[in-house]
Structure 1
Amino acid sequence: MGKCCKCNSRLLCMCLLPFMMTGHLLIYIMVSIFVTMSYAPPKITIHYIAPGISANSSALASHPLGPFWNLQLEDRAMWNQLQHAWDRENNPILRGNTTGISRKPRAQLLTEIARTHDLNSFPEHMGAFIRSMHCREYPLLINQPEMCRRSSDGSGVDSPVLLMAIKSQVGNFENRQAIRETWGHSGMVEGNSNKKGGLVRTVFLLGRQDSSTGPHPDLKNLLELENQKYGDILQWDFRDSFFNLTLKDLLLWQWLQLYCPTATFVFKGDDDVFVRTDVLLDYLLTKKKEHILWKGNTNKTDMDLFVGDVISNAMPNREPSTKYYIPESFYKGMYPPYAGGGGVVYSGSLAFRLKEVSELVRLFPIDDVYLGMCLQRLGLSPSHHPGFLTFDLPVTDRGNPCAYKSVLLVHRRSPKEMLTLWKQLQSMPDQC
């Protein structure tokens, strides 16, 4: 009898065991849910800081205010829409392991987006820019393939320290000649106060005459004669208009890569500026020495120099009567920091990086702003130099040679004013 009870008790325990385990599990789950619902996580400070460097701390930096890849279209302006579409197509996260720029033809994407915009609503010159903004390749009509390989002055030095690339137009013969006879002289140039200088080469960047501005005399033969005499003209087969100036930057970078890849520095400017080339050489050679010393302690060999008169927090000009007018239907937002006013200087190695990144940035009709866009895409900012006087000296100082002592560039000067100023600076008083 006792034996039978033991068996029944054991059997009962075995039967009740699953129910007991299930009950414990239910209790555990209920307690977990209750704890989870009642748990309040600690509040995270909105201004999360991560390791880095900032102006407020030598060890910490604030987190980014926006996502690294912005996948949302913020507005419907045409340029922004085109750039947004390109950013998505070239986003490495969305493209996976594929590399390279968008494989969709630029003209096809432009046509697709242009359908949603009335091109006739834009000013005529803006409409002309939009219709051709996908074109980046133009044949050279006049080339100088030996510009950086010849040494006609007998110096034995072929690689220029400074290449002066001047944006000009076919009819601006006087401007080009004044530059050749003054600050744009091609050859060995001494630094200021007989300091060590270097080889300077000058080229003038031209397109075709813009026939849309009215009838012009045919200057083709005169231009050919000028080029035969001086051999410093680069001309491409595109219409030379204000909104096409950006093309001169793109085509210059292509030309540099093919024909002048060893230029240490590049100056890009207009043909109505005056540059103190000797002082500029002093500045650039000092920067080169600093870079050589600096790169000895790092693994970075490229020199990210881009200098000019930097304009920050600029907004597009919305006044239709100005040549800088950018309709809100074409572009919305702030401009990135950019160097404007007729002249900038940058390192030759940076020119090739600008060329590469320009393939990811839609053409913009204002060349100075476009350079700022490309720099921003590279994660760089232009450096401001007070010697770039893009808004000129005070009127009372313009005739005083001593006022130009610390000047690198002045905008604007006529051919006659260039020649006069050059002569005055050659005999600058010692007391300056």
Structure 2
Amino acid sequence: MRKIRARFFLLAGALGLLVLHLCKDFIDHKNIHFNINVRDDDFQIKQPTTKNTSVYSWPRCLRNMSAANITGFSSLSGDVQDFLNYRHCRHFPMLLDLPDKCGGVDKSAEIFLLLVIKSSPVNYDRREVLRKTWAKERLHNGVWIRRIFISGTMDTGFEKKRLNKLLELEQREYNDILQWDFKEQFYNLTLKQILFLEWMERNCPNARFLLNGDDDVFANTNNMVEYLQGLKDNDGGKHLFTGHLIQNVGPIRSSLSKYFIPVQVQESDSYPPYCGGGGFLLSGYTALVIFNMSQSITILPIDDVYMGMCLAKAGLSPSSHMGVKTAGLHIPSSTLDEYDPCYYKEVLLVHRFLPAQLYLMWHRILDSNLKCGLSKKWL
């Protein structure tokens, strides 16, 4: 009798363990369905990090093995080969997130001008100067200006960890950095733009207007607010994409150029009209249109051109603004001071500035004692 009872309890225990195991699998299965959103056949996993924050992560994207079969592939540089191997990859682990930056989806409409600044991890000095000057978060003319830096990762091993730690410390202090775990390089600038636009759709879809630019530009964001407030019948809900307009150009085929695009990347010899990527203004409406169009357009490494491609597919056009000088200011005489603040007081954006020059210029144009002669507006 005791043997029968012992066997019974052993059998019951085994069955219990089996039930617990099946329940665990069921619960895990349910958690997957509750916590993962399927998008474009990729799994998006929301993982909590610290209080009131979250990051979005995806399985590591695999190399396209067939890229090596492209004619002339072996003759291309390593950067171009890497681009072709991974150009299909659009989702990367998010290291630093700002889910509450816009106050939630509903309150995001309270942000009039969102400054989206492309910055490499090593450019700490540039970010610090921008935080104190034109990218300072503030209320101007009754509307809010907010700031976000977007970044990838650099180097490997200990140096990569150090740079990531630097951005993490900045994030704790300023709450202004989005970072993904992809390689920070020129050929990944378009990827950075797409990742930001996806973040915007998720967290800040109703922001009125955006400045999208580099961390080495001088931007008169006060003037930008006033220009945007003066638009007729556009509070950000209609199309706007304006800056230094570039048209009737095509890919540069010289491998010596920074902007080299071989035929293996793009066969067409022409680009649609676009605005120079140093800095341009766009409406929140247009930003989301570009994101939607990007889902069906193969990535091109030149990010500003890619924006033009997305606009063209949507049947929209970029426009020219005389106050945006991504090629720099043309000073009429070599005897004049090219950093005279009177040349910069009325512009919207000029590329490019060193941090010390930028810090000084911002304070000079805001000096109430600055006296300028004839208006140099949109010089």
**Is 1:166 aligned to residue 124 of structure 2?**
no
Would the alpha carbon gap of residues 394 and 116 (structure 1) be closer, same or farther in structure 2, given more than 3 Å must change? closer
Which whole-Å CA distance do the structure 1 matches of 2:351 and 2:165 have between them? 30
Q: Work out the CA distance in 2 between the residues paired with 1:304 and 1:157.
A: 18
How is 1:194-213 mapped onto 2 (pairs within 5 angstroms)?
Answer: 196-211=141-156
Matched, 1:140 2:94: yes
Distance 1:261 1:394, change over 3 A: same
Structure 1 match to 2:251: 316
Contact residue 63 and residue 85 of structure 2 kept, 8 A: no
Q: Could you tell me how far apart the structure 2 residues matched to 1:344 and 1:197 are?
A: 22
Instruction: Determine what percentage of the aligned residue pairs are the same residue.
Output: 38
Q: Which of 218, 241, 246 is the aligned partner of 2:162?
A: 218
The correspondence of residues 364-403 of structure 1 with structure 2, limited to 5 A, is 364-394=300-330, 396-403=336-343
1:109 deviates by 12
Structure 2, unaligned runs of 5 or more: 1-38, 42-60
Contact 1:341–1:411, Cα closer than 8 Å, also in 2: no
Q: Secondary structure at the match of 2:339?
A: coil
Structure 1 unaligned spans of 5+: 1-100, 151-155, 190-195, 293-300
Asked if 1:425 is matched to 2:346, the reply is no
Provide the alpha-carbon RMSD of the alignment.
2.7
Q: 1:157 to 1:170 in 2, by over 3 A?
A: closer
The equivalent residue for 1:254 is: 198
Which residue pairs with 1:337 in the alignment? 273
Secondary structure of 2:281's aligned partner: strand
Structure 1 residue identity aligned to 2:280:
V
Q: Which has the higher strand share?
A: 2
Tell me, in whole angstroms, the C-alpha distance in 1 between the residues paired with 2:117 and 2:87. Answer: 22
Q: 1:182 and 2:127 equivalent?
A: no
d(CA) in 2 for partners of 1:290, 1:262: 17
SS of the equivalent of 2:234 reads helix
Match of 1:291 in 2: 234
**1:358 alignment partner in structure 2:** 294
- Pick the structure with greater CA Rg: 1
How many Å separate the matches in 2 of 1:368 and 1:398? Answer: 27
Deviations 1:54-105 (A, max 9, x none): xxxxxxxxxxxxxxxxxxxxxxxxxxxxxxxxxxxxxxxxxxxxxxx999xx
- Whether the 8 Å CA contact 1:197–1:278 is kept in 2: the answer is no
Q: 1:198 to 1:282 in 2, by over 3 A?
A: same
Q: Deviation digits for residues 348-382 of structure 1, max 9, x if unmatched?
A: 01111111111111000110110011111111110
Does the 8 Å contact 2:153/2:160 carry over to 1? Answer: no
- Separation in structure 2 between the aligned mates of residue 366 and residue 141 of structure 1, nearest angstrom: 24
SS at match of 2:116: strand
Is 2:240 aligned against 1:305?
yes
1:267 equivalent among 204, 211, 215: 211
Paired residue secondary structure (2:316): coil
Aligned position for 2:35: none
SS of 1:290 mapped into structure 2: coil
Query: Aligned letter for 1:321?
Result: L
Q: With structure 1 as the length reference, what TM-score do the two structures score?
A: 0.66
1:402-413 correspondence to structure 2 within 5 Å: 402-413=342-353
Aligned to 2:178: 234
Q: How far is 1:209 from its partner?
A: 0.9
- In the TM superposition, structure 1's runs of 4+ consecutive aligned residues that sit over 4 Å from their partners are 107-114
How many residues were matched structurally?
A: 308
**8 A Cα contact 2:68 2:74, kept in partner:** no
Q: Is the 8 A contact 1:197 1:281 kept in 2?
A: no
CA deviations on 1:35-61 (whole Å, 9 max, x unpaired) are: xxxxxxxxxxxxxxxxxxxxxxxxxxx
- Give distance in 2, aligned partners of 1:291 and 1:409: 21
